[in-house]
Chains A and B, each alone.
Chain A
Amino acid sequence: MPGRVIGNIRHMPPALAEPPVGEQLSDSVTAAQAIAGLKEAAATVQSDLRTRAATASPEAKAVLDATAQMATDSMLLKGANKLINTGLSAERSIWESGETVAQMLITLGGYMAERATDVLDVRARIVAALRGVPAPGIPDSADPFILVAEDLAPADTATLDPAKVIALLTTGGGPQSHTAIIARAMGLTAIVAAKGLQALDAGTEVFVDGAAGIISTSPGESERAAVATWLKNAEALSVFDGNGVLADGHLVPLLANVGGGKDAVKAAAAGAQGVGLLRTEFCFLGRETEPTIEEQVTEYKAVFDAFGSKKVVVRTLDAGADKPLPFLTDASEPNPALGVRGYRTDTTSPGVLARQLSAIATASEGSEAEVWVMAPMISTPAEAGDFAAMCAEAGLSTPGVMVEVPSAAVSSEAILGQVSFASLGTNDLTQYTMAADRQLGPLAALNNPWQPAVLRLIQLTVEGSLAEGNNKPVGVCGEAAADPALAVVLVGLGVSTLSMSARSLAAVAAVLKTVTLQRAGELAKLALAEPSAESARAAVREALPTLAELGL
């Protein structure tokens, strides 16, 4: 994730270990002393949270105040005190008492179930206070800092304050992990799968160049100058004029990946020329049951309306693997990435997809947007044909498929014979081509869309469209499109549109503007001829000096 900053680092504290089951009070402590100690720890946690709430943003303040109130709650502490009186340690007692309360709230469902997370957070903070270790989660600091972590859990990224965390360095996760995706969406300078971070002491001043992947200690004059250049360029790189075009006038519409109405409004304001990927599962996540057609219509229409008469590509539910849904997917599959996910859930839970298509059609009737629909995880021409038939039944005229499975790339001619367009999901296409889990740090080198084998499959998909003969568009909607250097290669391979986080639009547009279609084709050939992802990336970056000048 591009960006250059200089700052002091702080480490994410290790996850808090659960106090052992049955852990007893130590011989030197009476139950009464343990109860008093617990009360004191709870009061400390409460006052820390109140202090933080005082300077937090209004939304964060509400959560922190509510959590602070829970810290000394009599239900939580009395439950723990009872357990202490049976001889359990204070740590184990508050752990179990928190569990009981959280379960009770989860059983109540709705708003109460959402508060269960706060109870578990408070419980972990009290255990940390009892042990005298830092509270789990993103460290609190009065000054902005560079966060060093193994990886971030979704809950951590939700509390990440960009005013405090100026850059993110992780040892785990690949360039396509969720942490990387979120950092990109927030516009946060980040380097993932970095080595040697644990050797850096807290407080060390470092220079980070996210685009070049450089972390160096003892920054000097040249690093300070590089930061200054970046800050100057960043302003220009934050504005997209809404027109993706190459140096020779060849148009490459730049679209946005969005997860809902709010996202869509932001993306439209950022100049996106439409939506290349509406991730509809975000309307479904965290739901115990399928949303009603009416609920879905409202969600989809909010996105359509943000884009006037522009194109919006809706991807049907992509549940499974890292995005489980209780009413659709089987969490016990031994190999969920290769399991019943995406379009495949229509075979195990028929009806959900048909109802979603009908909701999309209804939302589309009530709006001006040009609505295209595509299915994720298509592997065969027969699946593409079945999906097209379902779309026709629902009254949707532009059906398409995601190309994420290598078989779909290889058979794109036959697949495009069944549908109107294809969109390359480079994140999954890379993980399946290289047989490397997106989330695993040790496999990050394999899991790189610059892998020449992945580029070759993208080329095959485009060649399939040419052979099919009807000029059916092949776009890219994976993270690869957000990498300005790779975006040039993708265009050179014959991809017609690029869809990405709205944040990346301006940078990609700035670089595309400097190359002609012919030059992009030459750079694509250059990359395809390289033996590795690293050398392909290096060769293209060297041939595009604009990148280094802009700090991208």
Chain B
Amino acid sequence: MSERLATIASASGLHARPAALFAEAAGALDIEVTIAPKGAPEDDALDASSILSLMTLGAAKGDEVVLRASGDGAEAALDSLVTLLETDLDAV
């Protein structure tokens, strides 16, 4: 299991368009990635490719989240998703 900590950079938080772009990117991967607020139990982690899960997570700008994945390519996949979370997608 690989883990990464990321800070939400989008001005509107992980809502609307930023959430849609992130869910799409996570869904395009061959491995399953989960997302959870920093400090939350691993069992409560949500599917990162689910736009509805991301919306219910309600992460705001500056919030820290933990991404988890395992298997081949997990490290590279997580790196790319962290980059996405740490970009202000509202400004793109």
- In angstroms, Cα B56 to Cα A75, docked, is 10
Task: Mark out the residues of chain A between 38 and 78 whose CB falls within 8 Å of any chain B CB in the assembled complex.
Answer: 65-66, 69-70, 73-76, 78
Q: Which residues of A contact B67 (CB under 8 A)?
A: none
Known A-B contacts A69-B23, A75-B47, A108-B58; the reply to A101 vs B52 at CB < 8 A is: yes
Task: Mark out the residues of chain B between 11 and 43 whose CB falls within 8 Å of any chain A CB in the assembled complex.
Answer: 15-16, 20, 23-24
| Per-position 1/0 for A64-96, Cβ under 8 A of B | 011001100111101000000000000000000
Indicate whether B9 reaches chain A with its CB closer than 8 angstroms: no
Contact B56 A74 (CB under 8 A): no
Contact B20 A108 (CB under 8 A): no
A102 and chain B: residue at smallest CB distance: B52
Contact B50 A74 (CB under 8 A): yes
Q: Which of A111-119, A129-137, A306-314 contacts B (4 or more CB under 8 A)?
A: A111-119
A119 and chain B: residue at smallest CB distance: B52
Smallest beta-carbon distance A47→chain B, Å = 15
Contact B15 A74 (CB under 8 A): no
Indicate whether A539 reaches chain B with its CB closer than 8 angstroms: no
- In angstroms, Cα B52 to Cα A115, docked, is 9
Known A-B contacts A66-B20, A111-B16, A112-B15; the reply to A73 vs B51 at CB < 8 A is: yes
Task: Mark out the residues of chain B between 46 and 68 whose CB falls within 8 Å of any chain A CB in the assembled complex.
Answer: 46-47, 49-53, 55-56, 58
Indicate whether A247 reaches chain B with its CB closer than 8 angstroms: no
Q: Which residues of A contact B49 (CB under 8 A)?
A: 74
Smallest beta-carbon distance A134→chain B, Å = 25
Contact B52 A76 (CB under 8 A): yes
Known A-B contacts A69-B23, A69-B24, A111-B15; the reply to A75 vs B58 at CB < 8 A is: no
Contact B56 A105 (CB under 8 A): yes
Contact B55 A112 (CB under 8 A): yes
Indicate whether A392 reaches chain B with its CB closer than 8 angstroms: no
Q: Which residues of B contact A108 (CB under 8 A)?
A: 55-56, 58
- In angstroms, Cα B50 to Cα A119, docked, is 13
Q: Which residues of A contact B20 (CB under 8 A)?
A: 65-66, 69
Indicate whether A382 reaches chain B with its CB closer than 8 angstroms: no
Q: Which residues of B contact A101 (CB under 8 A)?
A: 52, 56
Q: Which residues of B contact A76 (CB under 8 A)?
A: 50, 52
Smallest beta-carbon distance B36→chain A, Å = 14
- Contact of B51 (CB < 8 Å), options: A69, A78, A104, A111: A69
Task: Mark out the residues of chain A between 3 and 45 whose CB falls within 8 Å of any chain B CB in the assembled complex.
Answer: none
Q: Which residues of A contact B50 (CB under 8 A)?
A: 73-76
Known A-B contacts A108-B58, A111-B15, A111-B16; the reply to A75 vs B53 at CB < 8 A is: yes
A122 and chain B: residue at smallest CB distance: B52
Smallest beta-carbon distance B88→chain A, Å = 17
Contact A73 B52 (CB under 8 A): yes
- Contact of B56 (CB < 8 Å), options: A69, A78, A104, A111: A104
Q: Which residues of B contact A105 (CB under 8 A)?
A: 52, 55-56
Known A-B contacts A111-B15, A112-B15; the reply to A70 vs B58 at CB < 8 A is: no
- In angstroms, Cα B52 to Cα A105, docked, is 9
Q: Which residues of A contact B56 (CB under 8 A)?
A: 75, 101, 104-105, 108, 112
Contact A70 B16 (CB under 8 A): no
Q: Which residues of A contact B15 (CB under 8 A)?
A: 111-112
**Could you say which of A73, A104, A108 has the most chain B C-beta atoms within 10 Å of its C-beta?**
A73
Smallest beta-carbon distance A513→chain B, Å = 50
- In angstroms, Cα B8 to Cα A530, docked, is 71
A66 and chain B: residue at smallest CB distance: B20
**Could you say which of A70, A75, A112, A115 has the most chain B C-beta atoms within 10 Å of its C-beta?**
A75
- Contact of A70 (CB < 8 Å), options: B24, B46, B47, B52: B52
A108 and chain B: residue at smallest CB distance: B58
**Could you say which of B46, B47, B52, B53 has the most chain A C-beta atoms within 10 Å of its C-beta?**
B52
A69 and chain B: residue at smallest CB distance: B51
Smallest beta-carbon distance A294→chain B, Å = 22
Smallest beta-carbon distance A104→chain B, Å = 5
**Could you say which of B47, B56, B58 has the most chain A C-beta atoms within 10 Å of its C-beta?**
B56
Smallest beta-carbon distance A485→chain B, Å = 48
- In angstroms, Cα B52 to Cα A226, docked, is 52
Q: Which residues of B contact A111 (CB under 8 A)?
A: 15-16
- In angstroms, Cα B32 to Cα A74, docked, is 11
Q: Which residues of B contact A119 (CB under 8 A)?
A: 52
Q: Which residues of A contact B53 (CB under 8 A)?
A: 73-75
- In angstroms, Cα B46 to Cα A65, docked, is 22
Smallest beta-carbon distance A95→chain B, Å = 16
21 contacts between A and B (CB under 8 A): A66-B51, A69-B23, A69-B51, A70-B51, A73-B51, A73-B53, A74-B53, A75-B50, A75-B53, A76-B52, A101-B56, A105-B52, A105-B56, A108-B58, A111-B15, A111-B16, A112-B15, A112-B55, A112-B56, A112-B58, A115-B55
Interface residues of B (CB under 8 A from A): 15-16, 20, 23-24, 46-47, 49-53, 55-56, 58
Interface residues of A (CB under 8 A from B): 65-66, 69-70, 73-76, 78, 101, 104-105, 108, 111-112, 115, 119
The 5 closest A-B pairs by CB, nearest first: A75-B52, A74-B50, A75-B50, A74-B47, A75-B53
Q: A66-B51, A70-B52, A112-B56 are in contact. List 7 more A-B contacts (CB 8 A).
A: A73-B50, A73-B53, A75-B53, A76-B52, A101-B52, A108-B58, A111-B15
